[in-house]
């Protein structure tokens, strides 16, 4: 498999259209992660079905979040996307998140060419409030059945805040 971080970059961050690699399809309870050292997707663990991902989950190439992993993305689509593909995605916001005391933000995106929805999703405010609640619940509770670990959705940020998080993560990537 190709090393996504060598082939793809983050995309046009200033223009709000970025590249995102899919790790976990929406509805899956398999925690699949990009193994940067081996250049392949790897099954890290199987979560309880109760905590299947409410959205597609992936990462933005050539970024590093404060937790040392690529910056995560939540990809909103009507159907699950397969592991290992990449999409051009429109940035609509960011979920500010802390996992076991470490910043682990999630950039929220939709496909850049979202014709099925008439390209109507442009900000977090365009998402159904119930979906926002489901995402928050998932990330606030997915470690509840484990013996250790705490998670907290701290807040939601707009497009400009999301772009700033991406740029900070790009700088971390360059310094590694």
- Output the known binding site for Mg(2+): 67, 72, 104
Binding site listing: 31, 45, 57, 67, 72, 104, 142
Known binding-site positions for substrate = 31, 45, 57, 142
CB 169 within 8 A of CB 13: no
The residue whose two tokens read 């979906």 is: 131
Residue 53 neighbours by CB under 8 Å, 6+ apart: 24, 25, 26, 27, 28, 29, 138
* Burial of residue 33 (number of CB atoms within 10 Å: 0-12, 13-18, 19+): middle
């Amino acid at each position: 498999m190709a090393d996504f971080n060598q082939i793809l970059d983050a995309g046009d961050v200033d223009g709000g259209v970025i590249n995102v690699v899919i790790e976990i399809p929406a509805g899956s309870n398999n925690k699949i992660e990009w193994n940067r050292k081996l250049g392949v997707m790897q099954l890290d663990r199987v979560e309880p079905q109760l905590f299947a991902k409410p959205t597609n989950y992936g990462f933005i190439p050539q970024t590093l979040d404060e937790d040392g992993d690529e910056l995560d993305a939540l990809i909103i689509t009507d159907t699950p996307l397969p592991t290992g593909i990449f999409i051009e995605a429109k940035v609509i916001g960011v979920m500010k998140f802390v996992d076991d005391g470490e910043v682990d933000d999630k950039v929220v995106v939709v496909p850049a060419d979202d014709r099925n929805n008439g390209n109507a999703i442009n900000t977090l405010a365009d998402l159904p409030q119930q979906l926002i609640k489901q995402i928050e619940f998932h990330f606030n509770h997915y470690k509840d059945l484990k013996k250790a670990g705490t998670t907290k959705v701290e807040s939601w940020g707009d497009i400009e805040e999301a772009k700033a998080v991406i740029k900070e993560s790009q700088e971390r990537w360059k310094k590694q």
